[in-house]
Chain A
Amino acid sequence: MKFTLSWLKEHLDTDEPLEKLADKLTMIGLEVESIEDKARQLSPFTIARVISAEQHPNADRLRVCMVDTGDGSAPVQVVCGAPNARAGLISVFSPPGSYIPGKNITLGIGTIRGVESRGMLCSAAELQISEDHDGIMELPGDAPVGKGYADWAGLGDPVIEINLTPNRQDCAGVHGIARDLSAADMGKLKDPAIKPIKGEFPCPVQVTVEDATLCPGFALRLVRGVKNGPSPEWLQKRLTSIGLRPINALVDITNFMTYDRARPLHVFDAKKVKGNLTVRRARDGETLLALDGRTYTLDNGVCVIADEHGVESLAGIMGGEASGCDDNTTDVLIESALWNEINIAQSGRKLGINSDARYRFERGVDPAFMVPGLELATKMVMDLCGGTPSENIVVGKRFGEDRVIDFPLTEVKRLAGIEVPLVEIKLILSRLGFMMAGNGPVVKVAIPSWRTDVQGKADIVEEIVRIVGVDKVPMTPFERGEEPRKPVLTPIQLRTRRAKRALAARGIVEAVTWSFITRPAAELFGGGQAELALANPIASDMSDMRPSLLPGLVAAVQANINRGYPDVALFEVGQVFRGDRPEDQFVAASGVRHGYASSKGPGRHWSGSAITDAMDAKADAFAVLAAAGAPMQALQVVPGGPAWLHPGRSATIQIGPQNVLGYFGELHPRALETLGADGPMIAFELILERIPEGKQKATRARPPIEFSAFQPVSRDFAFIVDRSVKAGDIVRSAQNVDKKLISGVTVFDVYEGKGIDPDKKSIAIAVTIQPREKTLTDQEIDAVAAKIVAEVTKKTGGTLRG
């Protein structure tokens, strides 16, 4: 919402300086977005006369002008490219050193094709006062040479733009803004009564409203014998100052009323209207050429005003070209109506029209001002264009409902935490147009018709507090209460937090990728369901909710490779979607590694380095599981995984086949191809919700530690087994020989190659035997060793390596 200071002063009797008014506007909820002070901005630009304009010796399109700047000094030489630069022209001059807003440059003394130029003659576009850049400005012959242009042109009026919140339609007019400022002690509201204009004859056009829910009220009157044409200068300046284009007096009056009183109106050229007017729903397929020059195809949802020709106007949004007023209009129909807010919003959105009328109607105009607005407009039409008015026709309501709220005065203190004396409450509310009856403890407050946003007690509190000033509300310490200090994170929040730190501690960098991915990527990871596809995606490659974090991570890793950083490890812990219900959303922890970003350490290094492989992903996954408190002993690692993983270099992590926690491995080359990435890349993904929750322990104390009095013994075994035999099976077989005595089994060597059959491999394990009750004799140890060999041989078909 834009207005000028002088416009505001038409409605507010005030001597307060602009800065104070602007601060107050912001502090009462009408946030000032900008103040444009053209007078200050354009102060270097003066009115000047072109004495002579000669052809530039070295350039066909340039002229060398001598300019009288009116300051009594010698004429100034200016090189000018404008076709209209000619002797005798009065235009606008800027000396060197001026800032040219339309070009965003500061002018210097220049030499153009060998001729010195000491300033510039300006176009309107260069001053940013219009789009016109066809030539330098042409001012009337009596414009005072040497005077400031902005002052002469009446641009000295600062333009204030406020960021109007959607609830304050009453401040979509200058009058409403003035009322708020008057309530905030910034002056006195000028609010003279609006006198009805007596009609001289009955309105010849009848109005039928077919659907009162779409059009609760409709007022119309004819003014006969008007003389239309350009509106007076003051009105044109009002409109241009806020960026509106003057059209003709009748149209300008409607635009003025829109901004002055938040009362949009429409004017029809009565001679172009055939028969009576009907307010109705459009018929599907009806079209209208609107005042913006576009043709709109309508449907049954749009409310229109029609005559015997058909649709003449889009109700409350925009008029039609055919019945519009022009310079030849002699009889004008002025419409002032009430429209259904929701219907206006929907129709406007559907048709893609953002008009000043729609803006106000969809927020709800003052219903009681429908007829006074028509009277005010009639008076303006008669003042500016003459004519004889008909009587008003009013269909439907002319007022809103009376709304009175029982307001306990204690509500102010209860909700806002501030004591406001009753007299102050009364003063504020009455200045805002509320009527208050009673002295408490519960008063009756009548809400003014224009405050459609005020519905209840809390709204009244807001009115009082915003005018008193929120800065007056004292800060009150908030007691944290008797609640014991205990962790507040839920188990899944804790897991999320720990998983992130655990992965970062493994040298991985945390990424945050988009929640939406491409359809093919979603399908690859089991997504792509209809209920997870956006109806209105922002881009075609952000169309589906992600079922996995990996597509985003792979893309991010690839982008880093493309930037010249091939050794990348990224992880993410975030939401994934398997359906559109809350219980279908999970927290996944995932990681992708590429190149030398292995768990040995980043990059190539003298101390040893390796291209990352699937075992890094296994280690990453297990780090997350451990950090998240998973029962590590119960985890099973089963070869093979989903289709997006390499079939031979992947595994599923589960606790029984019914509870799959996740996967790790090398990404399948075909999956990488679908994702547009170059491999190999390794990855893991876990769903944190799948990790069973540990039992809550009653005490934080740990069980007493038990040290064995006897030294542990270690024995090494190397087995030759088929290549398909899993090391895990060998370890488990050895472990199971004697769960009490054998305290640990580790694999310390895996060998394939020279000296071993091509379809065999050697796996060496170290078994730790921890005696519990007595030192073991050599025979007893040998007996355990023999059992280990027998068990491993039995379970895996392996033989002890000689």
Chain B
Amino acid sequence: MSDLVTLETSILDQIAAAGDEAALEAVRVAALGKKGSISALLATLGKMSPEERKTQGAAINLAKDAVTQALNARREVLKQAALDTRLAAETIDVTLPLRETAAESGRIHPLSQVWDELTTIFADMGFSIAEGPDIETDDYNFTKLNFPEGHPAREMHDTFFFNPKQDGSRMLLRTHTSPVQVRTMLTQKPPIRVVCPGRTYRIDSDATHTPQFHQVEGLVIDKQSHLGHLKWILHEFCKAFFEVDHINMRFRPSFFPFTEPSLEVDIQCRRDKGEIRFGEGEDWLEILGCGMVHPNVLRACGIDPDVYQGFAWGMGIDRIAMLKYGIADLRQLFENDVRWLNHYGFKPLDVPTIAGGLSS
């Protein structure tokens, strides 16, 4: 009996002493393997008398269980220790700088952003978006818009021309987006509600003019829309666009060949160190021109001015973008300096929405 106790004690000591899983496995094989010491003892049971087998068998199996348990316990200890050792060696430098993601570093130009803002506001008011070509005919850019040949109003538009064709006609770069209104009226039946954003051109280059710029015009033609509606739309638009609760606007009579009556619109603001606050202050800033569509324009576009009526407005996208976002120099809009674009541009996921706000 004492042999068995001695054996068990010896194996348990070996288990406790096993330093790693391989050594432990060697102990296991030496004890419980096919030729292991305990397995050998179990093999002797067959030769014993039933009485002896009963007592010896129980004792040996007890020893075997004890060894097995110890093996399992030791294995678990060794496994955890090995894991701890491995993890202790695995470290990273958490202060390494991150790389900017593409969605962070990409930019949408302020003009595109404002374009999206405008279309969002006007789509909500029930307008659709119309566009037309930059290269226009004199007829669509001027004549149909009630600019008589030789009229000084034509000269106010410093027009880029192309060379005359064989038939004497010559194309030009549109000086405003109004030819899109003409194209719309010629192809659609009233009621018409469109806004026409687009690139426009005039020979002008100084601190406040660039030879290309952008306009957005609106056009409503139906049987009932009048100046009161026009004022309301522009008022609603300005509040929505500049994201203010109230704004003071001044409508002044003016002159455009294609509207009658014609108005210019100023918004009240205060300028403070380059920052503009709307709805307060002493300054009046001119932001747009508008009016009731001139009967001659309606007639030129095949619409009876005694049956239909409507209004139109136009404003500079570049200008309102500059006003809203505090951009001081118009020319920088087209200089494409990445420092400027990073500063004034918008992130690709900053999509203007009615629900979430135009800018945020």
Q: Residues of A with Cβ closer than 8 Å to B? A: 26-29, 31, 165-168, 341-343, 345-346, 349, 362-363, 413-418, 456-459, 461-462, 465-466, 470-471, 473-478, 480-481, 483, 487-490, 493, 497, 500-516, 530-538, 542, 545, 556, 559-560, 563, 565, 568, 570, 573-575, 577, 580-582, 585, 599, 601-602, 605-607
Contacts and interface: CB of A to CB of B under 8 A. Distances in A.
A461 B225 CA distance: 15
Contacts of B162: 531-535, 580
A507 B112 CA distance: 16
Contacts of A168: 255
Contacts of A503: 106
Contacts of A415: 226-227, 261, 292, 309
A405 to B, nearest CB: 12
B161 A542 contact: no
Given A341-B151, A509-B338, A515-B134, 5 more contacts: A476-B226, A478-B225, A510-B345, A585-B135, A601-B101
Interface in B111-129: 111-112, 116, 119, 123-129
B92 to A, nearest CB: 12
Given A509-B341, A510-B345, A563-B337, A535 B163 contact: yes
B242 interface: no
B50 to A, nearest CB: 53
Contact of B261 (A462, A476, A533, A581): A462
B261 A345 contact: no
B291 to A, nearest CB: 8
B253 A509 contact: no
The 4 closest A-B pairs by CB, nearest first: A417-B228, A342-B150, A29-B253, A165-B255
B1 interface: no
A514 B334 contact: yes
B263 A470 contact: yes
A660 B336 CA distance: 29
A533 B135 CA distance: 11
A416 B108 contact: no
A605 B124 CA distance: 44
Contacts of B100: 507, 601-602
Contacts of B199: 515, 574-575
5 contacts: A363-B152, A471-B251, A501-B349, A599-B102, A605-B99
B190 to A, nearest CB: 12
B152 A362 contact: yes
Interface in B172-227: 173, 191, 199, 201, 203, 205, 211-212, 220, 225-227
B155 A349 contact: yes
B250 interface: yes
Interface in B221-248: 225-229, 231-233, 235-236
Nearest to B342: A509
A417 B135 contact: no
Interface of B: 96-97, 99-103, 105-109, 111-112, 116, 119, 123-129, 131-135, 148-153, 155-156, 160-165, 170-171, 173, 191, 199, 201, 203, 205, 211-212, 220, 225-229, 231-233, 235-236, 250-255, 260-264, 292, 294-296, 305, 309, 333-339, 341-342, 345, 347-349, 351
Given A349-B155, A473-B227, A511 B109 contact: yes
A545 B227 contact: no
A485 to B, nearest CB: 8
Contacts of A26: 252
B235 to A, nearest CB: 6
Given A29-B252, A417-B228, A504 B337 contact: no
Q: Which of B105, B111, B211, B262 has the most A CB atoms < 10 Å from its CB?
A: B105
A542 B125 CA distance: 39
B144 to A, nearest CB: 15
A574 B150 CA distance: 33
B282 to A, nearest CB: 13
Nearest to B334: A512
Contact of A471 (B229, B250, B260, B338): B250
Contact of A504 (B106, B150, B231, B296): B106
A624 to B, nearest CB: 13
Contacts, number: 264
Contact of A530 (B128, B153, B163, B205): B163
B226 A582 contact: no
B129 A493 contact: yes
A465 B291 CA distance: 12
Contact of A473 (B149, B150, B228): B228
Contacts of A513: 334, 336
Contacts of B335: 559
B116 to A, nearest CB: 7
Contact of B128 (A488, A505, A509, A582): A488
Given A415-B309, A501-B351, A510-B341, A556 B336 contact: yes
B227 A504 contact: no
B235 A475 contact: yes
Contacts of A510: 107-109, 112, 341, 345
B264 A31 contact: yes
B253 A465 contact: yes
Nearest to A570: B336
A362 B135 CA distance: 28
A476 B161 contact: no
B292 A458 contact: yes
A43 B94 CA distance: 71
Contacts of B103: 505, 507
Contact of B150 (A345, A535, A565): A345
B284 to A, nearest CB: 9
Contact of B211 (A363, A538, A575): A538
Nearest to A167: B255
A577 B134 CA distance: 9
B107 A504 contact: yes
Contacts of B132: 582
Nearest to B130: A490
A512 B107 contact: no
Given A509-B106, A510-B345, A606-B96, A475 B251 contact: no
A510 B123 CA distance: 24
Nearest to B150: A342
A291 to B, nearest CB: 22
A31 B254 contact: yes
Given A505-B102, A560-B336, A458 B228 contact: no
Nearest to B197: A493
A303 to B, nearest CB: 14
B295 to A, nearest CB: 5
Nearest to B212: A515
Contacts of B131: 490, 493
B255 A507 contact: no
Q: Which of B123, B228, B338 has its CB near the most chain A CB atoms (within 10 A)? A: B338
Contacts of A581: 133, 135
A458 to B, nearest CB: 4
Contacts of A533: 162-163
A514 B212 contact: yes
A588 B232 CA distance: 37
A732 B27 CA distance: 58
B161 A535 contact: yes
A529 to B, nearest CB: 10
A166 B334 CA distance: 32
Given A475-B235, A512-B333, A28 B253 contact: yes
Nearest to B225: A478
A539 to B, nearest CB: 8
Contacts of A27: 252-253
Contacts of A537: 160
A536 B261 contact: no
Nearest to A563: B337
Nearest to B152: A166
B211 A500 contact: no
Contacts of A473: 227-228, 231, 251
A397 to B, nearest CB: 20
Contacts of B294: 458
A29 B289 CA distance: 13
